[in-house]
Amino acid sequence: MKNWIGGVMIAALSAAATAALLLSGAGSTAAQTEGAAWQAPRLPGTDHPDLNGIWQNLTTANWDIEDHGAAPGPFPALLGAWGSQPAGQSIVEGGELPYRPEALEQRDANYTQRLDVDPLNLHTVGDPEAKCYAPGVPRAMYMPYPFQIVQMPEKILIVFGYSNISRYIQLENHTEAPIDFWMGWSNGRWEGDTLVVDVTGFNGLTWLDRAGNFTSSALHVVERYTPVGPNTIMYEATVDDPEVFTRPWSLSFPLYRRLEENVQLLDFRCVPFTEEYIYGSLAKEGSYVQKGS
């Protein structure tokens, strides 16, 4: 009896699995057909997709753009699970960053010293995010906060709630960066329905995540924004930095439109939250370096 029941159950499960596969295949074919027919709405007065809206990613790349497990925050005895790191999958093509050996050593040192603060040497010690500095590109695009795209025919403005920063993408009258910037200098163009942005002119002071991954002032980023559905943009970036990496590498992830009624981009002005963190050690006699970890 047991064998007969087991055989019936296996047969039923096999039939269910086959039906699921057939339905999945039919759904996939329908989705492909629908995707092939779908075209992004046009920006009024242009032939280009309308990217206006408030967008956000769902990755954990700001903690670490490579594969990573869940981990406690820097002060678990004080904060418990607050500030802990969620597990996440790499957004890097191939999974790992192609570091030069000496740069990999610097990455490891960055991680060890990620919350150290030297108020007399603010820019080169510790994670810039902890000090509320502009995150740079591409990190700004995968921080866990929403941002707004304001599109015009000749330029595009991206406004970030975090640190109240912004960046312009010039679609006409391209010029080289006059100076180096935290967010770089962006020149854009359209390739069909894909916005391609060439970003140069970095100051070399930004990190890629909280894990200590970093870039230099030789950084060159090429971004691609491709609408793939009514509320989804596929974001891709190719990173070239010969001072840090042995070859160019790419990352990608989707951006999702925020659809809440009356959704707004809200300020996250974090500078006031950092004053004690950055300068508090100056009040301590005989020491100006604060160890954060």
pLDDT tens digit sequence for 237-259: 999 999 999 999 999 999 999 99
CA distances from 18 to 13, 22, 29, 31 (A): 9, 6, 17, 20
Check residue 124 and give its pLDDT.
83
Assess whether pLDDT exceeds 90 at residue 58.
Answer: yes
**DSSP bridge partners of 133:** none
Q: What is the mean pLDDT of residues 266-289?
A: 79
Q: Which pLDDT does position 286 carry in this prediction?
A: 52
For position 118, what pLDDT does the model report? Answer: 87
Determine, yes or no, domain membership for 98. yes
* Average pLDDT over every residue of 132-142: 97
Between 164 and 287, the higher pLDDT residue: 164
Looking at the domain assignment, is residue 26 inside a domain?
no
Could you tell me if residue 21 is inside a domain?
no
Q: What is the mean pLDDT of residues 265-278?
A: 91
Q: How far apart are CA 232 and CA 255, in angstroms?
A: 6
pTM, two decimal places:
0.84
Which pLDDT band holds residue 180 (cuts at 50, 70, 90)?
A: very high
Q: What is the predicted pLDDT for the residue at 284?
A: 66
Instruction: Give the residue with greater pLDDT, 92 vs 34.
Output: 92
What does the pLDDT read at residue 37? Answer: 76
Q: What is the pLDDT of residues 10-34, one digit of tens each?
A: 344 344 444 444 444 444 444 444 4
pLDDT of 9 > 80? The answer is no
**Start-end of H helices in the chain:** 2-37, 76-79, 101-112, 139-142, 275-279
The boundaries of the domain holding residue 189 are 53-70+94-273
DSSP string, 170-186: ESSS----SS-BSS-EE
Q: Please indicate, yes or no, if residue 223 is contained in any of the structural domains.
A: yes
pLDDT grade, residue 291 (50/70/90)? low
In a domain, 124, yes or no: yes
Verify cis geometry, omega within 30 degrees of 0, for the bond prior to 138.
Answer: yes
Assess if residue 292 is contained within a domain.
Answer: no
pLDDT above 70 covers a percentage of the chain that reads: 84
Total number of domains constituting the chain: 1
Angle (CA) 181-247-85 rounded to 5° is: 65
| Residue scoring higher pLDDT (4 or 107) | 107
Residue 282 lies in a domain: no
Q: Of 25-34, 192-201, 280-289, which one has max mean pLDDT?
A: 192-201
Q: Which residue has the higher pLDDT, 125 or 225?
A: 225
| SS3 at position 262 | coil
Lowest mean pLDDT segment, chosen from 73-82, 89-98, 168-177, 201-210: 73-82
- Name the pLDDT band for 119 (thresholds 50, 70, 90): confident
Is there a domain that residue 199 lies in? yes
Q: Is the pLDDT of residue 50 over 70?
A: yes
